[in-house]
Structure 1
Amino acid sequence: MAIANYIKTTLSKTDSAKEFLSNVEDRFKTVDKSLTGTLMAKLITMKFDGKRVIQEHAIEMTNLAAQLQTLGMNVDEFFLVQFILNSLPPQYGPFQINYNTMKDKWNVNQLAIMLNQEEARLNQLE
């Protein structure tokens, strides 16, 4: 009774509760795979457009990675840092070069702090 009609109509009729629950589980596995693909595509193709602050952009990318993790796809933090760096426009080129020449790797929080500073520096130049 609590399942929405548009979901009920996609499930096959059965008299067994165990079989019914198995059908529900199978149905949502397909949805999870589709959602995983959609989220991954968004994460990979996302670009910073400058319409908002850089911190919001980094948070959105971090949220996508967290959603992927809940679906069983682990996105390594340092991999995410590279995705964020790769999503930046050309004016962040010197920042990226500086990061790539350092021995240390930043986590997402460190990157966000440094990006805020770089954004402030770039805004002063304009």
Structure 2
Amino acid sequence: MDATSTVAQRLKFEKWEKANHMALLVIKRSIGEAVRGGLPVNDKAKNFLEGIEAKFKVYEKREIGNLMTTLTTLKFDESHTVREHMLKMVNAVAKLSDLEVPIDDSFVVHMALNSIPESYEQLKTSYNA
């Protein structure tokens, strides 16, 4: 606003400022402190939402990396059943699918069979046959 603004423009700007302030308050109260603390301070709701979007894009990439690491490095440790081990792998694949990272079923089966120990060789042989 400047000195040449009309009364109507000033009233409209004041309404906008009030609505922007209220939107910022609602947004800040509806997100957790951990998320809020990592965002730059903004005086406009639109800029604040853009900051949240950028933060979650970084989070999404990190989550995809973690899930891919889990899928490719998970080994059966005999502290759980083979079924639970396979369900961990299927869960990682499902989460990757939700993040729009499709994984081919044959790759998942290959990773699952390679992650179990030699004592399950009969299972591997029967699958390959």
TM-score (norm 1): 0.71
5+ residue gaps, structure 1, are 103-126
Matched, 1:94 2:122: yes
CA distance in structure 2 between the partners assigned to 1:49 and 1:5 by the alignment? 37
CA distance in structure 2 between the partners assigned to 1:5 and 1:76 by the alignment? 38
Identity %: 36
| Aligned with residue 73 of structure 1, among 92, 101, 106 | 101
Aligned partner of 1:55 in structure 2 is 83
5+ residue gaps, structure 2, are 1-28
CA distance in structure 2 between the partners assigned to 1:83 and 1:25 by the alignment? 33
Q: Which protein, 1 or 2, shows the higher relative CO under an 8 Å CA cutoff with sep ≥ 6?
A: 1
SS at match of 2:30: coil
CA distance in structure 2 between the partners assigned to 1:29 and 1:35 by the alignment? 10
Runs of 4+ residues deviating >6 angstroms: none
CA distance in structure 2 between the partners assigned to 1:25 and 1:9 by the alignment? 14
Trace 1:16-55 onto structure 2 (pairs within 5 A): 16-55=44-83
Count matched residues: 101
TM-score (norm 2): 0.70
RMSD: 1.5
